[in-house]
Chains A and B, each alone.
Chain A
Amino acid sequence: MAETAASPTSAKPNAEKNLAARVSPARQLADEFAAGSLAGTVEISEVPFLTMVGLRALAGSAAAERLAGVTGGLPAGSGAVAGHGEVSVLWLGPAEFLVVAPTEAHESLGGDLIPALRDALGGDAGQVVDLSANRTTFELTGPRARAVLEKGCSLDLHPRVFKAGTAFSTEIANIPAILWKTGDESFRIFPRASFAEFLGRWLLDAMREYASPEVP
């Protein structure tokens, strides 16, 4: 942090330097992800270093109102996703939320999202915690993405039930993860950093039958 605070004029080069020095939790799988993906069927990639902020505030409290003002709303119940623009808020519990924003929103890269949230909470009961390094993000897309997930997730993922724009904290391949359906055929999966390699390899294995050449 001292590095970024050194002088305002050097913020930009420092931000790039900070980012270049980071290694994402599934970096070692990047080549395998590329090799294991088949465009138009199922593709996987890591979206590294998204800014994530853990929020805790009692629904209906003044602090929750102020936080909602920064993020563009707080989700009301299980599965709901709120937010506006590039900032999304996922429901994790009755008073617990996860803000997901692009990499540049992070303080170390000159973003102002986290200070704004911290100011919104003020001295009230609650939490604003930078959790950007807690989880990584996998993006699983394609017509077969649902079939891949169904091998290890017991939620009903049929589009009739699991609509785009909902997110659940659940288990995938027996590990806790957050599953967010961002589009009709695209999912974002947030495993904890220490589970990233396991889940990445598990997903590659699950994808293999779809992303392999068809055997005549």
Chain B
Amino acid sequence: MLLIPCPNCGPRDETEFHYGGQAHVPYPENPNELTDTEWSRYLFYRENPKGIFAERWVHSTGCRQWFNMLRDTVSYDIKSVYPMGSKRPDRSPDGAPESGTASTGPDSTTTGSAAPSTSSTSFPSTTAPEGATK
């Protein structure tokens, strides 16, 4: 079982959380202008990387808040936890724009070998409240 560091409540069991799928999938600016193919790509097509994956989680039996998490899909290492709405901490601000459908992203073929490039491996461990630590 994963021990997930909730930014509000500290480390808790995975069973207290629900998974929200891939993070950073923007809603199309003009859904009416999309072709059926593009719309289906927005709705159903997600990355499936071997390595670091940005995903959304909600602490459903705790504080009921959503947050983003970088997780290694090979080792299940949790690399980083960061708020909803902020950029991926392991991507440079200018590169890898979060636009269009996710599957066209330049890093959609990220593999395990890309893992060492992850710059942000820091946990917000200071937010763990007293009594919530394992």
Q: Which chain A residues border B122 with CB–CB below 8 Å?
A: none
* Closest 8 pairs between A and B when the two form their complex, measured CB to CB: A93-B63, A176-B61, A78-B129, A78-B9, A162-B131, A154-B13, A79-B129, A79-B131
A170 and B131 CA atoms in complex are apart in Å by 12
Size range of the interface on B? 10 to 19
- Which residues 50-70 of B sit at the A interface, judged by CB distance below 8 A? 60-65
A170 contacts B130, C-beta separation under 8 Å: no
Q: A77-B129, A79-B131, A161-B133 are in contact. Are A170 and B8 (CB under 8 A)?
A: no
- Which residues 155-194 of A sit at the B interface, judged by CB distance below 8 A? 155-156, 161-163, 166, 168-171, 174, 176
Task: Decide if B77 is an interface residue (CB 8 Å cutoff).
Answer: no
Q: Which chain B residues border A80 with CB–CB below 8 Å?
A: 129
A166 contacts B8, C-beta separation under 8 Å: no
B21 to chain A minimum Cβ distance, whole angstroms, is 22
Q: Which chain A residues border B24 with CB–CB below 8 Å?
A: none
B62 contacts A170, C-beta separation under 8 Å: yes
A46 to chain B minimum Cβ distance, whole angstroms, is 22
A44 to chain B minimum Cβ distance, whole angstroms, is 22
- Complex interface bits, B11-33 against A, C-beta within 8 A gives 1, otherwise 0: 01101100000000000000000
Q: Which chain B residues border A154 with CB–CB below 8 Å?
A: 12-13, 134
Q: Which chain B residues border A163 with CB–CB below 8 Å?
A: 130-131
B100 to chain A minimum Cβ distance, whole angstroms, is 32
A184 to chain B minimum Cβ distance, whole angstroms, is 14
**Majority DSSP secondary structure for residues of B touching A:** loop
A92 contacts B15, C-beta separation under 8 Å: no
Number of interface residues of A (CB under 8 A): 21
A-B contact pairs, 24 of them (CB 8 A): A77-B8, A78-B8, A78-B63, A78-B129, A78-B132, A79-B132, A80-B129, A93-B62, A94-B65, A154-B134, A155-B12, A156-B133, A161-B130, A161-B131, A168-B131, A169-B61, A169-B63, A170-B12, A170-B16, A170-B61, A170-B62, A171-B15, A174-B15, A176-B60
B2 to chain A minimum Cβ distance, whole angstroms, is 12
A16 and B60 CA atoms in complex are apart in Å by 38
A187 to chain B minimum Cβ distance, whole angstroms, is 13
Task: Decide if B10 is an interface residue (CB 8 Å cutoff).
Answer: yes
User: Considering only CB atoms, which chain A residue lies closest to B6 in the complex?
Assistant: A78
A155 contacts B132, C-beta separation under 8 Å: yes
Q: Which chain A residues border B9 with CB–CB below 8 Å?
A: 78, 168
B63 contacts A171, C-beta separation under 8 Å: no
User: Considering only CB atoms, which chain A residue lies closest to B1 in the complex?
Assistant: A154
B16 contacts A166, C-beta separation under 8 Å: no
- Complex interface bits, A92-127 against B, C-beta within 8 A gives 1, otherwise 0: 111010000000000000000000000000000000
A174 and B8 CA atoms in complex are apart in Å by 21
A166 and B62 CA atoms in complex are apart in Å by 14
**A93 partner, pick from B64, B129, B131, beta carbons under 8 A:** B64
